């Protein structure tokens, strides 16, 4: 979190570097047309960043723009504009924020104008909204669309036939579209080089995330975690700058572990670690700091989260593999968290609760996102049953400020932490016997 308070000299060099990397990327986007660079709009889960680097194009991620608009308190206005245009209240708020931003001049988070796309690259990984979103953008821009259909892991596996199906599309649909738009020939050796760089940075990210197993955890793997995954899940994977960033971050975290320090929060170092949580679901962006404060004020740290896996499950062993360039892209796309079925998600979260020695599992169910929200109550109940830790359930949204009721959410989080406390003192009724107890849930402001 890049606030003045938490800039503690050497320890936050990675933060300053990330800021510079992002600013540089948006600068490059703002001059892309004069510089003769091609621009590709694409999505975060299942992104083909290494392939984009191989063709020397610049990516724009509409979800990132939406979440940045949320953090900058602009998404509410953008959403209203989109609703005036006829987009229903039920539509994912990311889409409406993006459409509203577009209508307001398409000014990106750094205040610079975003260039129009030369290609809309739709990698479909489990979210039907992606299709509709790019249908809308297609009406706005006269550029080609390339679609990569990645099969959902409905049976809990990505089979060789599914992999071949994706690879075939890369060969016959995606790469030819890149060649057409850029006028360049596909260079597999170049792709391999970027994949090699990706794997090195991925190793370091895994170490950073695994540091949550320490007591105290030196990181917050949800609120802090969204910063750690930023470069990896977006334009920087497969570059030297990502390698530098993750090396630096890993060193900073190692230092914190050695000194037995907890995470840095927007208000400085966190106090004593009292509760260790696993969190399922994306964060709320419009009240991000307020939401985080509700946790660290109570001594609650998130030691592992599913949201930091939307752009890949590196901690479960996946690495981009330069020896299988197209196959590895297929595996990557298929393995993103929202492309996993519910039993796979449950197994993963159970593993986190055990390996990170969590005191509880908290679900943040966002109104916008069915890819995440479907089945979350079942996930929570199943993990309670398997591990014995209590579950908590709060409801917010991604970037629609109308769905964040601060008092309500705070109240529920406090009640949930009290429940954990009672469990410690032996007053907690174990989940199988507590069927009659209500879920600790926070409704929205509606
Ligand atoms: S529904 Fe969820 S996964 Fe789909 S675009 Fe919206 S936030 Fe992303």
β-pairing verdict for 268-269 and 264-265: antiparallel
β-pairing verdict for 275-280 and 268-269: unpaired
Residue 223 has pLDDT above 60, yes or no: yes
Q: What is the pLDDT of residue 371?
A: 87
For ligand 1, the distance from its centroid to the CA atom of residue 371, given in whole angstroms, is 6
Residue 424 has pLDDT above 80, yes or no: yes
| Ligand 1 contacts CB of residue 362 (under 6 A) | no
Q: For the chain, how far is it from start to end, CA to CA, in angstroms?
A: 30
% of the chain beyond a pLDDT of 90: 88
Residue 273's closest CA among 286, 256, 285, 287? Answer: 256
The preferred substitution site among 369, 373, 403 for testing ligand 1, maximizing ligand atoms within 8 Å of CB, is 369
For ligand 1, the distance from its centroid to the CA atom of residue 131, given in whole angstroms, is 10
| Ligand 1 contacts CB of residue 129 (under 6 A) | yes
| Ligand 1 contacts CB of residue 136 (under 6 A) | no
Q: What is the pLDDT of residue 444?
A: 39
For ligand 1, the distance from its centroid to the CA atom of residue 298, given in whole angstroms, is 30
Residue 322 has pLDDT above 50, yes or no: yes
Distances from the Cα of 261 to the Cα of 38, 117, 217, 273, 278, angstroms: 44, 44, 8, 10, 19
Distance between CA 443 and CA 404 in Å, rounded?
A: 9
pLDDT per residue as tens digits for the range 91-117? 999 999 999 999 999 998 889 999 999
Q: Which residue CA neighbors atom 8 of ligand 1 most closely?
A: 369
Q: What is the pLDDT of residue 441?
A: 42
**Mean pLDDT over the full length of the chain:** 92
The preferred substitution site among 129, 131, 285, 373 for testing ligand 1, maximizing ligand atoms within 8 Å of CB, is 129
Q: Would the CA dihedral through 207, 337, 243, 268 be positive or negative? A: negative
Distances from the Cα of 45 to the Cα of 167, 223, 371, angstroms: 17, 19, 11
Instruction: With beta carbons less than 8 A apart as the criterion, state whether 395 and 426 touch.
Output: no
pTM of the model: 0.92
- 18-50: burial string, b at 16+ Cβ within 10 Å, e else: beebbeebbebbbebeeeebbbbbbbbbbbbbb
Q: Which residues contact 222 (CB under 8 A, 6 or more apart)?
A: 279, 283, 302, 305, 307, 308
Q: What is the pLDDT of residue 434?
A: 42
| Beta-bridge partner residues of 41 | 60, 120
Given pLDDT bands bounded at 50, 70 and 90, which one contains residue 56?
very high
Q: What is the pLDDT of residue 5?
A: 44
Which atom number of ligand 1 is nearest to the Cα of residue 282? 7
| Ligand 1 contacts CB of residue 65 (under 6 A) | no
Q: What is the pLDDT of residue 2?
A: 38
Any idea which residue has 């107890």 for tokens?
437
Instruction: With beta carbons less than 8 A apart as the criterion, state whether 327 and 249 touch.
Output: no
Give the three-class secondary structure for 397: coil
The preferred substitution site among 43, 311, 368 for testing ligand 1, maximizing ligand atoms within 8 Å of CB, is 368
Q: Which residue CA neighbors atom 7 of ligand 1 most closely?
A: 369
Tokens of 417: 């932490």
pLDDT per residue as tens digits for the range 343-363? 999 999 999 999 999 999 999
pLDDT per residue as tens digits for the range 286-317? 999 999 999 999 999 999 999 999 999 999 99
Q: What number is the average pLDDT over the span 260-277?
A: 96
Given pLDDT bands bounded at 50, 70 and 90, which one contains residue 425?
confident
Residue 445 has pLDDT above 90, yes or no: no
| Ligand 1 contacts CB of residue 92 (under 6 A) | yes
């Amino acid at each position: 979190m890049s606030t003045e308070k938490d800039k503690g000299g050497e320890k936050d060099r990675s933060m300053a570097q990330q800021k510079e990397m992002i600013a540089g990327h948006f600068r490059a986007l703002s001059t892309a047309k004069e510089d003769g660079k091609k621009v590709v709009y694409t999505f975060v889960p299942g992104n083909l960043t290494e392939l984009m680097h191989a063709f020397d194009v610049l990516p724009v991620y509409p979800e990132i723009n939406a979440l940045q608009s949320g953090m900058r308190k602009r998404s509410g206005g953008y959403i209203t504009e989109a609703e005036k245009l006829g987009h229903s209240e039920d539509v994912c708020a990311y889409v409406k924020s993006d459409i509203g931003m577009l209508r307001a001049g398409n000014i990106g988070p750094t205040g610079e104008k975003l260039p129009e796309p030369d290609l809309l690259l739709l990698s479909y990984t489990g979210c039907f909204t992606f299709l509709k979103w790019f249908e809308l953008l297609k009406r706005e821009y006269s550029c080609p669309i390339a679609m990569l259909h990645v099969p959902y892991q409905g049976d809990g596996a990505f089979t060789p036939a599914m992999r071949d199906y994706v690879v075939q599309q890369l060969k016959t649909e995606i790469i030819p579209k890149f060649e057409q738009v850029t006028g360049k020939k596909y260079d597999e050796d170049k792709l391999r080089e970027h994949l090699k760089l990706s794997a090195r940075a991925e190793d370091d990210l895994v170490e950073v995330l695994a540091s949550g197993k320490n007591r105290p955890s030196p990181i917050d793997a949800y609120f802090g975690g969204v910063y750690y995954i930023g470069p990896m899940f977006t334009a920087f994977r497969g570059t030297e700058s990502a390698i530098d960033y993750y090396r630096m971050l890993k060193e900073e975290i190692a230092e914190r572990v050695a000194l037995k320090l907890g995470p840095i929060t927007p208000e400085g170092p966190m106090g004593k670690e009292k509760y260790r949580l696993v969190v399922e679901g994306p964060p709320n962006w419009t009240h991000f700091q307020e939401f985080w404060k509700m946790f660290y004020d109570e001594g609650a740290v998130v030691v592992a989260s599913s949201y930091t896996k939307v752009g890949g499950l590196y901690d479960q062993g996946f690495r981009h593999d330069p020896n299988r360039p197209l196959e590895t892209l297929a595996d990557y796309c298929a393995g993103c968290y929202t492309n996993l079925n519910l039993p796979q998600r449950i197994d993963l979260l159970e593993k986190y609760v055990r390996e990170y020695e969590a005191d509880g599992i908290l679900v943040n169910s966002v109104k916008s996102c069915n890819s995440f929200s479907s089945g979350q109550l079942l996930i929570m109940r199943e993990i309670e049953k398997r591990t014995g830790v209590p579950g908590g359930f709060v409801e917010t949204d991604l970037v629609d400020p109308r769905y964040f009721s601060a008092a309500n959410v705070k109240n529920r989080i406090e009640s949930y932490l009290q429940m954990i406390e009672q469990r410690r003192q032996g007053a907690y009724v174990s989940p199988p016997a507590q069927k009659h107890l209500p879920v600790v849930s926070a409704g929205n402001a509606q």
